[in-house]
């Protein structure tokens, strides 16, 4: 049956692909047309003529960041994700993507009215006692309006942009295709799971677009806090919340980086810095769920030095083993032991086959030596972790993306702490958690739990092994065993061989036409045209056309 929806989606994808490539070309990334070995309709630069930009003196990282901002929500969010993945992109690009601005012109109020009608079944006038048509903030995924409930409570209404889901889904389709092309054709494509990165990104942005999920996440953080009086979370109004609308308490607070306002309100900046660090570390260690984007715009301070966290679109989830791994890494770093670092990485199973342990140990030893004379109170944990990530990335060691998100969040928390309190020492707050993790590793209860888990895994293996062996032997006897081999990086070679063989075949056909026509001329038989045998004349004409086409194709390829 003919699928009209699929056709419309394919048409949108083609149009959007042209826009995406056009933006990249306009920012000086013409090589993308060659690198990705795009289908022939997308290789012609004249299809992507756009406004000329002044790019002299602008480094590639900044040009890429500007291109992402112009391409809209999907690429802004992709850049923000990549800013936490220096294992995939150069550090200069990761740092530049961290500055991506997620500010766009607001959606007209008439569209907001229709969106509320569709999501909540009512207009702003029927749902609220007052609804401000001017947004408080407008981002690529949603915009926020201030309103008042009929009960008199002030609220902030976060409304998803009406067209964003279709745009994002189309872009995800295109990014998936580009990731596949990149893995097949780019020199480094086989070294990175580009398709996996796109899948991870797709899962992240789809969760962020589901505002109901964000509301549930806030409630989960609130439950984890257990009534902590130093921490506040905005109240959620589920009756006015859907996948496209989130209604929550309007927070009257002071931005955490507004030091003058904090001091003017009689608040203690040093205490706020200490509380913020402890709150973040408790989220990581005790709950395994932490705020992944603690930048100043997402943190407000309320009376009594109470901290309020906002915007839970980006959060990190840590399993127990992963949390233990993190603090063992930190312990090895603080003990300045490269051997302990390598052992921790090895036990976690993250060392790649390409990693050479002697070379890795040498680089880690040099890295640690640079911190030997620095007192712990002067040590910047964020800088230490950032340099460590650069080293393991150099050796192609792949860490869980959530660990890299944690490193970025920890750097942000430490930066805010030092901004609030010049004498802020992150190590004072981290060391108790590390010591607790070290004790926990050797505690009898933890050892027994590890042993029990190991024995349980061994039991499952021994129970399933006979069945699995029988199935393998049965398949061998039936001749149904299949071995799948995957080649990487050969598509470009195959394409070039196809071109060469086609040109060689065309040359042979042209030569045969010329020889055959020459023989017919010598026989001087058959009907004539312009004094030549007709067949010979036709042969020369066809050979000439084929020859001219072949020469033009060779000149266009630039390979004589």
User: Which residue, among 213, 85, 220, has the nearest Cα to 142 in the 3D structure?
Assistant: 213
Is 293 annotated as catalytic? yes
Contact present, 388 and 367 (Cβ < 8 Å): yes
Q: Which residues contact 297 (CB under 8 A, 6 or more apart)?
A: 255, 310, 311
Q: Which residues contact 199 (CB under 8 A, 6 or more apart)?
A: 176
Torsion angles phi and psi, residue 89, rounded to 5: -130, 160
Torsion angles phi and psi, residue 244, rounded to 5: -110, 0
Kind and range of the H or E run holding 467: helix 444-478
Q: Which residues contact 252 (CB under 8 A, 6 or more apart)?
A: 302
Of the candidates 210, 293, 311, 425, the residue annotated as catalytic is 293
- Residue 389's region, left for phi above 0, alpha for psi from -120 to 50, else beta, is alpha
For residue 317, list its beta bridge partners: 289
Length of the chain counted residue by residue? 560
According to DSSP, residue 250 is labeled P
CA distance 341 to 344: 5
CA distance 32 to 422: 46
Question: What Å distances lie between residue 397 and 234, 260, 354, 394, 401, CA to CA?
Answer: 39, 44, 8, 8, 12
CA distance 118 to 219: 25
Contact present, 308 and 251 (Cβ < 8 Å): yes
CA distance 340 to 364: 11
According to DSSP, residue 292 is labeled S
The catalytic residue positions are 293
């Amino acid at each position: 049956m003919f699928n009209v929806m699929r056709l419309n989606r394919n048409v949108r994808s083609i149009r959007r692909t042209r826009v995406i490539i056009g933006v990249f070309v306009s920012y000086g990334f013409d090589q993308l047309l060659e690198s990705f070995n795009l289908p022939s309709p997308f290789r012609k630069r004249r299809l992507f003529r756009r406004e000329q930009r002044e790019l002299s003196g602008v480094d590639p990282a900044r040009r890429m960041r500007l291109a992402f901002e112009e391409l809209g929500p999907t690429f802004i969010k992709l850049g923000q994700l990549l800013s936490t993945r220096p294992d995939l992109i150069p550090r200069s690009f990761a740092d530049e993507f961290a500055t991506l601005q997620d500010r766009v012109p607001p959606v007209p109020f008439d569209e907001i009215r229709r969106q509320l009608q569709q999501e909540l079944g009512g207009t702003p006038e029927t749902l609220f006692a007052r609804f401000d048509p001017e947004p408080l903030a407008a981002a690529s995924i949603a915009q926020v309006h201030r309103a008042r409930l009929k009960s008199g409570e002030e609220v902030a209404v976060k409304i998803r942009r009406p067209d964003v889901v279709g745009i994002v889904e189309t872009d995800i389709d295109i990014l998936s295709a580009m990731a596949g092309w990149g893995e097949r054709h780019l020199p480094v494509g086989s070294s990175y799971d580009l398709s996996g990165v796109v899948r991870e990104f797709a899962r992240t942005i789809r969760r962020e677009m589901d505002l109901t999920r964000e509301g549930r996440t806030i409630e989960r953080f609130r439950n984890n806090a257990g009534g902590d009086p130093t921490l506040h979370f905005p109240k959620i109004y589920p009756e006015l919340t859907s996948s496209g609308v989130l209604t929550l308490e309007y927070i009257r607070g002071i931005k955490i980086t507004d030091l003058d306002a904090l001091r003017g309100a009689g608040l203690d900046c040093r205490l706020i810095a200490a509380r913020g660090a402890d709150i973040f570390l408790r989220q990581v260690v005790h709950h395994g769920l932490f705020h992944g984007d603690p930048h100043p715009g997402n943190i407000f301070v309320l009376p009594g030095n109470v901290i309020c966290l906002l915007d839970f679109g980006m959060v990190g989830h840590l399993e127990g083993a992963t949390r233990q791994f993190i603090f063992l890494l930190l312990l090895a770093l603080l003990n300045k032991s490269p051997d302990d670092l390598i052992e921790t990485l090895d036990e976690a199973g993250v060392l790649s086959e390409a990693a050479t342990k002697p070379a890795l140990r040498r680089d880690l030893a040099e890295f640690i030596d640079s911190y030997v004379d620095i007192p712990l109170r002067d040590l910047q944990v964020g800088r230490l972790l950032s340099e460590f990530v650069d080293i393991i990335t150099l050796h192609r060691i792949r860490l869980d993306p959530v660990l890299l998100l944690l490193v970025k969040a920890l750097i942000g928390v430490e930066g805010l702490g030092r901004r609030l309190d010049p004498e802020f020492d992150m190590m004072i707050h981290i060391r108790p958690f590390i010591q607790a993790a070290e004790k926990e590793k050797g505690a009898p209860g933890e050892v027994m739990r590890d042993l029990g888990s190991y024995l349980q895994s061994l039991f499952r293996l021994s129970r399933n092994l006979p069945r699995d062996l029988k199935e393998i032997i049965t398949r061998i006897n039936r001749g149904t065993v299949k071995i799948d081999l995957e080649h990487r990086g050969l598509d470009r070679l195959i394409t070039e061989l196809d071109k060469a063989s086609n040109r060689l075949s065309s040359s042979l056909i042209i030569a045969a036409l010329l020889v055959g026509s020459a023989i017919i001329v010598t026989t001087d038989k058959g009907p004539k045209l312009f004094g030549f045998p007709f067949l010979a004349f036709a042969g020369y004409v066809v050979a000439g056309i084929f020859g001219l086409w072949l020469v033009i194709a060779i000149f266009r390829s630039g390979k004589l």
